[in-house]
Structure 1
Amino acid sequence: MRFHKKVAIVTGAGQGIGFEIARQLAVEGASVILNDLDEKLANTAASEISSKNGICQAMYGDASNTTFIKRMVDMAVKNYGSLDVVIANAGITLFGDFFTYTPEAFNRVMQVNLGGTFFLAQAAANQMKLQKNGGSILFTSSVTGHQAHKDLAAYGMSKAALEMLAKNLVIELSAHHITVNTIAPGATLTERTMDDPTYEKTWSELTPTGRPAYTSDIAQAALFLVSEQARHITGQSLIVDGGWTSISPSPF
């Protein structure tokens, strides 16, 4: 029960990696605010966690909206008394050829992936400063922030920027005993990727360990980075990809 009496916010957690992180936090004792843009996904996910004796409340809304971000932080404190862990997992992927990529697609990727993460970290850190007990913040990056990937120039750029943000915030947050790190998943089996019938086979062949990640692989690494065991780790990015970035074969 590493997170007994801890309070956490996880964004983009209606399914996939975010859901598994929220589920594992609740299993280990945390009270969780579970966010997703989709109301049905958020409610279903929170209900599933609650049905297994976890403490989980759904909050659906746009995690890149600063007014909504403040509401999430306020709700965590109002309902559970504090805010100790924040996982900024919400993000979008908009594939597109560089030569024809639109300003609208670019701005939306940056708004969600960068703006949402930046301002959630800001709101959470301000709350943690008031509490004077420290806390842990984790950003979700990607292996595409480390290796070039076809049609993902904007997305990869946004994910690389998150890792620099984590490094920079070490200067701002360490004096308040707040750690800030980044996790960079590789190919992972989620509801979205499993819609592609070739995904698992393709990434099993490309990944040195012989399979893509399960959401539990990513969640276990994430929980370590926001736990007391990682209190001396900050400003770092942990790649969880079965070794793919070491050799980087392209699926295209």
Structure 2
Amino acid sequence: MSKIENGYDLTGKVVIVTGSGRGLGKAYARWLAKRGASIVVNDLDEQSANDTTQDILAAGGKATAVVAPVGDTEAAQQLVSAAVSTFGRLDALVANAGVLRDRVSWKMSDEDFDLVVKTHLRGTFLCGREVIKYLREQGTGGRLIVIGSPAGQLGSFGQSNYAAAKAGLVAMARTWSMELARDNITANAVIPTAMTAMTATIPIYKDWAEQFEQGQALPPLARQEHALGSPEDVAPLLEWLVSDASANVTGQAIGIGGDRLTLYSHPTELVNEIHDGGWSASGINAAWSQSMAAQAQPSGPIPRPAPETQTAR
């Protein structure tokens, strides 16, 4: 695979991008198409799906649209069928489709929980399963890329449904990486951050969001410490993971946003204590106080330097 403009030529690659009618998913689809990939655009909103498809075609790219909500097997099969019937093969899945229903747990309805889990976790699994079946039969390897979130890595207030689903996606990617190693199919999770409509609602980012909306460059503090930039700042990681250059990268959770690139650790044991014959409750309390409490990790976002209250205009 040749390098182009500090990137990779994806000509001949066929990629399904779910949830690509708007936002980050649209940026991924357009970027990959610009690099030469043929794209199966997916969204539950017909106009959004068609808009992304037309954008790609107008720029000289190749794309087709499938209008369907992920979360059932029929939709997943439609996506694979569209790739094969339109472009003759399939190489990669970017499982991006998602939805938010934010509530604190005691106010979250069954429907709020189920919709988020169905879309993110079940939808990714079903799309992944159908893609895996085809890739294994095709026999030329492939790429599975699931889109996680810092919420799934660290927890997020008012998002128990979303955080749990996103954490599950990382575990799913790690599991797929083991199951599919012999088939030369890689599976990785991308943990994106960007200045989006959702990010703009966070009070400390208000000034930065206004700057971004006005087309001004975000300051280094935003881009480097808070990993905030445009959706297009995230897309090169998707390009690399789809390309042949990442053939030996699998089972990883990789974050990107603004100027920041992050490799997340697998969950690791911080402290081990051994007590011959097993543990009593009081023994656990003593071990916790003596050697474990100091290593305990807080939940929630990693503290970052706060933006100044007034940014330069």
Q: Return the offset for 1:129.
A: 0.6
Q: Distance in 1 between matches of 2:242 and 2:49?
A: 22
**Partners of 1:9 and 1:45 in 2: how far apart?**
13
Quote the Cα distance in structure 2 between the aligned partners of 1:43 and 1:194. Answer: 26
Shift of 1:200: 5.0
Q: Is the 8 A contact 2:200 2:206 kept in 1?
A: no
Count, aligned residues: 249
Tell me which residue corresponds to 1:189: 195
Aligned-CA RMSD value: 2.4
Q: 2:239 aligns to what?
A: 223
Alpha-carbon distance change, 78 to 25 in structure 1, aligned in 2, over 3 angstroms: same
Instruction: Provide, for residues 103-131 of structure 1, a one-character-per-residue CA deviation record: whole Å limited to 9, x for no partner.
Output: 11111111000000001111001100111
1:132 aligns with 2:188: no
- Matched to 2:303, the amino acid is I
* Greater C-alpha Rg: 2
C-alpha displacement at 1:65, in angstroms?
Answer: 2.1
Residue 130 (structure 2) aligns with:
123
CA–CA distance in structure 1, aligned partners of residues 43 and 117 of structure 2 = 18
Selected match of 1:247 from 299, 303, 306: 303
Identical columns (%): 29
Structure 1 Cα separation of the partners of residues 148 and 191 of structure 2: 4
Q: Secondary structure at the residue paired with 1:247?
A: coil
**Any conservation in 2 of the 1:88–1:140 contact (CA below 8 Å)?**
yes
**Structure 1 CA distance for aligned equivalents of residues 229 and 223 of structure 2:** 9
d(CA) in 1 for partners of 2:202 and 2:223?
17
Q: Is 2:222–2:229's contact at 8 Å kept on the other side of the alignment?
A: no
CA deviation after TM superposition for structure 1 residue 72, in Å: 1.0
- Distance, in Å, in 2 between the alignment partners of 1:104 and 1:123 is 26
Output the CA distance in 1 between the equivalents of 2:206 and 2:133.
41
Greater shift in the superposed pair: 217-226 or 8-17: 217-226
Question: Partner residue of 2:67?
Answer: 60
What pairs with 1:32-111 in structure 2 (closer than 5 Å)?
32-111=39-118
Structure with more contact order per residue of length (Cα contacts < 8 Å, sep ≥ 6): 1
| 3-state secondary structure, aligned to 2:254 | strand
2:281 maps to what in 1?
A: none
Residue type of the alignment partner of 2:128: A
Q: Residue type matched to 2:235 in 1?
A: A
d(CA) in 2 for partners of 1:214, 1:246: 21
Cα distance 1:94–1:4, how it changes in 2: closer, same or farther (>3 A)?
Answer: same
SS of 1:213's equivalent in the other structure is coil
Distance 1:226 1:246, change over 3 A: farther
Query: What is the SS of the residue equivalent to 2:16?
Result: strand
In structure 2, relative to structure 1, the CA distance for the partners of 1:212 and 1:168 (3 Å cut) is same
Is the CA contact 1:140–1:182 (under 8 Å) kept in the aligned structure 2?
A: yes
Aligned to 2:38: 31
